[in-house]
Amino acid sequence: MSFLKNILTLRNLTFVVGAILLGSLLHFFFTGAGGQRYLAVRLVPLALILQILFVYQDRWFYPRLPALVNHIAVLAYLGIALYAMYYLTQNYEDIAIWRQARYTQHDFIVGVLVFLLVMELSRLIHPILFWVNVVLVLYTLFGQHSPIDFFWHPGMPLDRIITSSTVEFSTGVFGRYSQLALTLIAAFLLLAAAASGFGAQKALVDVMRRLAGRSRHTIPQTAVLASVSVGMVSGSGSANTAVTGSFTIPLMKRYGVPGTFAGAVETSASMGGLIMPPLMAVAGFIMAEFLGVPYWDVVVRGFAVAFVYFVSLVLAVYLLSVRLLPATPIQIPTVPLYCWLRTVIFFAGIIYLILLMSTFGVGAMRSALYTSGAILGLLILTWLYFRYVLKDPAVMGESLLGNLRTAVETHAEMTSYLTLLMATLGIMIGLFTVTGFITRMGSLLLQLGEFHIIATILMAWVFGWLVGTGLPPTATYIIVAVIIVPPLRQLGVDPWVAHFFAFLLAIWGELSPPTSLTAAVAAKIAESSFMRTMWEALKICLPITVMSFAIFVRSDMVVNPGWDQIVDTLLVAVGTAGVTYAVFGRFFSAWWPMAGTRLVFLALAIPVVFHPDDNVAIACAAVLLPLIMIGVHRHRKVAPRQELQEGVASEPAK
């Protein structure tokens, strides 16, 4: 009896369902059986089941109600998902082809159950999206009563809302966003799952600490290098912060870095992780879908944006480190060979992925599958060698099946989370569309464009900021791309520029006040003020704001891969570095000459980034770049060594 009790646990059930999801996805990846829409009909309910189980492992759904009520509710939700999966799969052809616009009462009831289940899960996991959808449902039902002409529409019956969001399959819960989550995105998440299963992420942090941790001034760069590495296969800023920040923030504080600064550095580095290919906060996959281009076309442009951001980020972190920390050397930590090998395997896999998509022309999904398989195979062989040949104590407490189980659970959790997010967004975008809000918002932006295109861009930026205050980057990008990109394109803006503008808005929205989940996670780990951490991170992340507008002038950065792209990328990198030095650098000790030099840096940086004449921009960059180099050297001499409230930590024991 006790044996059965140990086996029949919630975690084991979650693992089994996750393994079924992974097996179903792998079968589709290699066969394409049934197509993407049929895949979504089969596996979206399975993803909902996984989210129910993952959430229930951590907490009650309804803490104020008795345990029995929670158990019954969970069983009911699982039953709804299972029945919906069975019914919709069995009747797929009839519903998708023969009963369009003439759905039976049974179809409608199943649609209602699916709609309510997605809404309830979004209330628990994505509460802001839930309330936005509630408002949209009410607006869709009663739009004819709006006293404001801009928001008026004739209204829509409830049954049309339900069917368009569920059993129509082409929109809503089972639409293109859920299909994308279960295909291309799920394939790339295998990279993160393989790395997580064998502890490659922790190994990355250790290696980056070894590479960057040569003095107190370079210790904060550990967070930058670790976050960009983990961010390559992470689609969430808060998740990136939780993974790397749990190591890097305590490390920075041990060497005397103030908690606020440590949290801000990790937040800013995690923002960069969202920009970094190949995942690009998952928004890159949706961008490729919107533009109808291979995913590699998005990645090759994303690298330019990431390069600019990390040049400025490294500079900002260094200038702050010199100002806040003494220049005392520290003992360089040793890193075990097992960590080095896992790190090499991870980066070799990323290089292999890039070569497959670029040089060999392999499709993005196949490239992700081949790369994740190669990474997993090499990690297994390495683990077996250290476990049974070298008998390394670091792996003696692990088991191969345990590591593989961690990989499966990681993939199941990430995929089911994103599938629920995409299903919720499918409902939202569908309601935006049927109410005509997208068309009216586009008309408003076009009218502003008649006044001046800059007014349209500023209005779009404000709209994106408001949307991003409460939504994750993926959701923000989809909403901004659907509403803002079409009018920008009608005004003559290149599609690549418009979509990367939406992408950078979505990334900045993850940090924008008054809410930032990434900053909140970092502040909690650092035990610092959330508002101060977010404010410092906003200053460090200033290049994101600059780039959002720079791509309209230096458009080759995201439009024309090649030498033109390299020139524009270098110009924007020099310009943002100049802005960064103007904010954080100190050329003189006295305040009035220091203020004057900051104005000089800004006066040179602005034309480098925004002047339409390339010759003027290059001339200013030729002056600005040597000034930045001289300024960095001067900064080390004049920046005061401030005594930190936390105190300068003594050298930790090796």
Higher pLDDT, 3 or 9: 9
pLDDT at residue 326 in the model: 77
pLDDT at residue 639 in the model: 64
Instruction: Band the pLDDT of 212: cuts 50, 70, 90.
Output: confident
Kindly report, residue by residue over 319-361, the tens digit of the pLDDT: 988 888 877 777 777 889 999 999 999 999 999 999 999 989 8
Peptide bond into 326 cis (omega under 30): no
By percentage, how much of the chain surpasses pLDDT 90?
Answer: 57
Length of the chain (residues): 654
pLDDT of 616 higher than 90: yes
pLDDT of 417 higher than 90: yes
pLDDT at residue 198 in the model: 92
Half-sphere exposure of 586 (CA within 13 A, CB side): 18
pLDDT at residue 645 in the model: 40
CB atoms within 10 A of CB 387: 17
List of residues 6+ apart from 317 with CB closer than 8 A: 220, 221, 223, 224, 265, 268, 540
pLDDT at residue 17 in the model: 97
Do residues 72 and 80 touch, judged by C-beta distance below 8 A? no
pLDDT of 155 higher than 60: yes
pLDDT at residue 514 in the model: 64
pLDDT of 259 higher than 80: yes
Q: How far is CA 608 from the centre of its chain?
A: 29
- What is the mean predicted confidence (pLDDT) over 281-306? 92
Q: What is the CA radius of gyration of the chain?
A: 26
DSSP code for 334: P
pLDDT at residue 569 in the model: 96
Instruction: Band the pLDDT of 633: cuts 50, 70, 90.
Output: confident
Do residues 542 and 583 touch, judged by C-beta distance below 8 A? yes
User: CB burial class (10 A; 0-12, 13-18, 19+) of residue 20?
Assistant: middle
pLDDT at residue 353 in the model: 93
Instruction: Band the pLDDT of 1: cuts 50, 70, 90.
Output: low
pLDDT of 250 higher than 60: yes
Instruction: Band the pLDDT of 226: cuts 50, 70, 90.
Output: confident
pLDDT of 647 higher than 70: no
Kindly report, residue by residue over 495-524, the tens digit of the pLDDT: 999 999 999 998 888 777 666 778 888 888
pLDDT of 651 higher than 50: no
pLDDT at residue 587 in the model: 80
- What is the mean predicted confidence (pLDDT) over 548-572? 95
Distances from the Cα of 341 to the Cαs of 338, 463, 601, 643, in angstroms? 5, 46, 43, 40
- What is the mean predicted confidence (pLDDT) over 447-469? 83
By percentage, how much of the chain surpasses pLDDT 70?
Answer: 95
Do residues 422 and 130 touch, judged by C-beta distance below 8 A? no
pLDDT at residue 200 in the model: 87
Distances from the Cα of 306 to the Cαs of 36, 195, 275, 286, 475, in angstroms? 31, 22, 6, 18, 20
pLDDT at residue 236 in the model: 67
pLDDT at residue 643 in the model: 40
Tell me the C-alpha distance between 509 and 93, whole Å: 41
Tell me the C-alpha distance between 546 and 354, whole Å: 28
Tell me the C-alpha distance between 615 and 612, whole Å: 9
pLDDT at residue 5 in the model: 54
Higher pLDDT, 408 or 2: 408
Do residues 244 and 227 touch, judged by C-beta distance below 8 A? yes
Across the chain, what does the average pLDDT equal? Answer: 88
pLDDT at residue 646 in the model: 39
List of residues 6+ apart from 617 with CB closer than 8 A: 571, 607, 608, 609, 611
